[in-house]
Amino acid sequence: MKKRHIILAGLLFITPMLLYAGMWQNPQRPNVVVIIVDQWRAQATGYSGDKNAITPNLDRLAERSVNIKNAVSGMPVCTPFRASLMTGKYPLTTGVFMNDVMLDTSQTTIAKVYKNNGYTTGFIGKWHIDGHGRSSYIPKNRRQGFEYWKALECSHNYNQSAYYSGDSDKKLFWEGYDVIAQSNDACQYISGQAKSDRPFTLFLSLGPPHDPYHSAPEKYRKMYENKSMEINPNVPAENREKVKKDLIGYYSHMSAIDEYIGKIWQTIQDAGIEKNTILVFTADHGDLLGAHGSWNKQQPYAESIRVPFLIHYPAVFGNGPKTSSILLNSPDIMPTLLSLSGLSIPPSVEGVDFSEVLKGTKKDQVTHTLISCVQPFGQWNRGKGGREYRGIVTTQYTYVKDLKGAWLLFDNIKDPFQLTNLIGNPAHAQTQKKLEKMLTETLKQRKDEFRPGMEYVKKWKYVVDETETVPYQTVNYEGKKIVE
């Protein structure tokens, strides 16, 4: 009798452990590899028809993936995008609406969810949601659920790129051009994790093709040395020569990234895990690169807000090319990936789960998505024409208003380079009225009162300089001095 009780007690103790181990070994639980690049606009790939771009690996990946052609960076600047990616929330909810502020460590993040469901989690590259200075060590409690760690808050010195590894606060440096070194490290991580019974998720966050444009290795710059660069018609004549030079550097970074995305993809194939691995390629925002006479991001034009988004998952989507017109916004990435992974979406998430729409089992009900700038800063501060705005994007239109009223209306199908602002055009009065109503309802739903930006800065107690920008090198999100 006693022996039977001991056996039963042992089974009761062991069974939960076996169930948990079985969860890790569940073949339906996919691995997840997310490659994020910085400042890559949607139009700048071979598969999207850009004759400037030399991106053979991405073009080949697009032939075997779902190409989400209307993906949008809802607040097209680095830190807000990354906070939305990590939490599935909008910037005004997290308070992360400017660069170089901190995402609260109490947030429920995508890495924490994967980790709590038996995944190993890894992050390599640019972090940019810590708010303690761009070169400062980021301790484990501020890594938002990532275990494997080779990262730095932010650097655009791609050939002398620093990082911290594991739990050491010793600053290290990637060997050579960081795209190559970080991608090789990602390949090693994938190969190692593929041998484990546990699924894994890896985020590889690359700094290029963000400027400085002319810092890619010579091999890639030579690819464009004698290439005739096409300039978009929305680039003013006085900017065209500068744009030609910058495009050569911009696309050189892209070709380097393209080669190493090919290597990462090949590593996944060689490891025998391609069928059950979700591979994503996207960007945090685009780059105006002279469009409308401007550079970089933040502004509501297509070159700034539209980003590439490929999702390769053969077990669910097969190996053929598919194009989706869903309006995927930054907060929608987390719930969509979690759902595709068979995981529950936390109630804190505000984004849309598009997984069933992508599978073709549900009709798309989303007609528009929100874009915004809560507080202009940095490269687009008020002295440089920056302004608060709220807007919506549909599959055809972009409509934007600033604090003074209606500002921009473009028909993106008839006018893809947004050369003609239709605000106040009598022939489009009904369209403008309809879009204004949609925007008003969206802001009401989001509890967004659309106030002047500095009111939100004061609410969140951010310390800014004379340009209303968080001074990222010397002051953290609490205004305390940082020694770097």
Q: What is the pLDDT of residue 41?
A: 98
Domain hosting 383: range is: 369-459
Lowest-pLDDT choice from 13-22, 211-220, 436-445, 465-474: 13-22
pLDDT, residue 472, reads 78
CATH number, position 254: 3.40.720.10
Q: Is the residue at 473 inside a domain?
A: no
Rounded to 5 degrees, φ, ψ at 396 are: -120, -40
Mapping DSSP to helix (H, G, I), strand (E, B) and coil, where does residue 29 land? Answer: coil
pLDDT digits over 147-167, tens only? Answer: 999 999 999 999 999 999 999
* Helices (runs of H) and strands (runs of E) counted in the chain: 14, 14
Assess whether pLDDT exceeds 90 at residue 399: yes
- Cβ–Cβ under 8 Å, residues 475 and 481: yes
- Does residue 251 share a domain with residue 375? no
pLDDT for residue 10 is more than 60? no
The total of other beta-carbon atoms located within 10 Å of residue 160's CB is 11
Q: What percent of the chain has pLDDT over 90?
A: 91
Residue 175 belongs to a domain: yes
Domain check: are 421 and 351 in the same one?
Answer: no
- pLDDT for residue 18: 38
Neighbours of 270 (CB within 10 A): 13
318 and 411 fall within a common domain:
no
What is the tens place of the pLDDT at every residue in 228-248? 999 999 999 999 999 999 999
Joined together, the tokens standing for residue 197 give: 């019974």
Position 24 in a domain = no
Residue finishing a domain among 359, 387, 404 = 359
Active site residue 78: yes
Q: What is the DSSP string of 435-447?
A: HHHHHHHHHHHTT
Q: Active-site residue among 5, 128, 132, 368? A: 128
Number of domains in the chain: 2
Residue 383 lies in a domain: yes
| pLDDT tens by residue, 188-224 | 999 999 999 999 999 999 999 999 999 999 999 999 9
- 285 belongs to the catalytic site: no
Beta bridge partners of 244: none
Element (DSSP H or E) covering residue 355: helix 355-359
Burial class (CB in 10 A: 0-12, 13-18, 19+), 339: middle
Q: Which of 100, 84, 203 is nearest to 147 (CA)?
A: 203
Rounded mean pLDDT, 9-31: 49
478 is a domain residue = no
**pLDDT-based confidence at 93, cuts 50/70/90?**
very high
pLDDT of residue 473: 60
Same domain, 130 and 271: yes
pLDDT digits (tens, 9 = 90+) for 365-375: 999 999 999 99
The CA distances from residue 72 to 264, 319, 427, in Å, are: 25, 25, 27
Q: Which of 78, 154, 187, 373 is catalytic?
A: 78
Does residue 362 carry a pLDDT above 50?
yes
The C-alpha atoms of residue 409 and residue 407 are separated, in whole angstroms, by 7
Check whether residue 184 and residue 323 sit in a common domain: yes
Provide the 3-class DSSP secondary structure of residue 33: strand
Domain assignment of residue 74, yes or no? yes
Q: Are 373 and 340 found together in one domain? A: no
Q: What percent of the chain has pLDDT over 70?
A: 92
Mark whether 310 and 379 lie in a shared domain: no
Matching residue, tokens 């200075």: 133
Instruction: Tell which of 359, 381, 402 closes a domain.
Output: 359
Whichever domain contains 392, its CATH number is 3.30.1120.10
62 and 187 housed in the same domain = yes
Nearest C-alpha neighbor of 172 from the set 448, 433, 180, 181:
181
Same-domain pairing of 133 and 267: yes
pLDDT in tens, 374-390: 999 999 999 999 999 99
Within this chain, do residues 396 and 306 fall inside the same structural domain, yes or no?
no
Residue 3 domain-assigned?
Answer: no
Does 423 share its domain with 306? no
* Distance between start and end Cα atoms, the chain: 67
The angle subtended at Cα 219 by Cα 213 and Cα 224, nearest 5°, is: 60
What's residue 139's pLDDT? 97
Asked if the model's pLDDT at residue 298 lies above 70, the reply is: yes
Same domain for 262 and 285? Answer: yes
pLDDT at residue 5 is higher than 70: no
- pLDDT for residue 13 is more than 70: no
Dump pLDDT digits (tens) for 116-153: 999 999 999 999 999 999 999 999 999 999 999 999 99
